[in-house]
Amino acid sequence: MITVNRQALTTRCLALLTVAGAVAATQGCAGAPQPPEAGRQPIVVVAATKTPADSSTDAPTEEPTDEPAEEKARSAPECVRVRGAAACVGGDDSLQPGVSVEDTENDRLHPAVEYYLNGYLGTMYSVHNLARQGEVRGSPWIGDTITYRAALYKGDHRLKVSEWKTLKKVTKNPVARETGISPATAQARARVCTSTRGRALVCFTGKKTTIFACDTGTDRRQVHAEYYIGGDPTARFEIHQLAGPGTCGKAVHGRRTISKYRASLFDGDHRIGDALYKYN
């Protein structure tokens, strides 16, 4: 016979019932929030919200530029135009400092810029752009005041011009006005001189080149100095001396050298005398 220890069996059954009850209680409360484990903080999820300051990010923003708009405006030269020519004047920080002329058409004509410096109408200057379309030629040496226009030429014949435009205080280093130069003074200051018909005199210095156009005649004809700088055949510079006999006009070109030059005599817009170019 098998002897059953009732007391031991009863104790074991009670222990099993206790464990089963604990498991059932745990399963019945699975949906309830459980306390966090010791040493671990609960994770709190906060929904992202926009503040008034953040709303500005929705607006389109302007792409950054290389330079401020004010700098761009200051760097742009001021121009006058006719079809085929654009004459411009820019300050020292300009994309095109000084006075310049651009050829804007592909044709057999050439553009020029004509200008007066420092309010003096006794001497007119011009730069003829003999290069191709899209090329720019000019000079950085301008006065405190400059009055200029664009012109279109076929050879020596001026076909059309733009309106005149005047600008003041464009450069910090303007060319000084000097209107009292006589032919004798020009010859004394110059290194080289040439004359045409004894009426037109052109002289120029060496370093820090200055060139003079002097009227040595006794009539109303005008003297033109025609010359090229630095060996560039695509830009012809001219000085038109309009003040009358015994006067000289001058132009400065810094350290750039005169490569070829001549003196010419005009009656208005008509060439009546010149000489072959001389080379420096």
The per-residue pLDDT for range 125-156, each reduced to its tens digit, is 999 999 999 999 999 999 999 999 999 999 99
| Residues 79 and 127 placed together within one structural domain of the fold | yes
For the chain, the average pLDDT equals: 82
Q: Mean pLDDT throughout 187-204?
A: 92
Structural domain including 239 reads: 178-280
pLDDT on residue 6: 52
Confidence class for position 199, pLDDT limits 50, 70, 90: confident
| Residues 214 and 249 placed together within one structural domain of the fold | yes
| Residues 163 and 213 placed together within one structural domain of the fold | no
Domain stops at, among 123, 145, 175: 175
Domain for residue 43, yes or no? no
Domain for residue 153, yes or no? yes
| Residues 154 and 211 placed together within one structural domain of the fold | no
The per-residue pLDDT for range 77-114, each reduced to its tens digit, is: 999 999 999 999 999 999 889 999 999 999 999 999 99
| Residues 188 and 156 placed together within one structural domain of the fold | no
Separation between Cα atoms, residue 158 and residue 206, nearest integer Å: 33
Domain for residue 200, yes or no? yes
Domain for residue 170, yes or no? yes
| Residues 165 and 251 placed together within one structural domain of the fold | no
Record the pTM: 0.73
Domain for residue 64, yes or no? no
Q: Mean pLDDT throughout 206-234?
A: 93
Domain stops at, among 142, 175, 208: 175
| Residues 182 and 157 placed together within one structural domain of the fold | no
Query: 178: exposed, middle or buried (C-beta count within 10 Å: 0-12, 13-18, 19+)?
Result: middle
Domain for residue 155, yes or no? yes
Write the CATH number for 86: 2.60.40
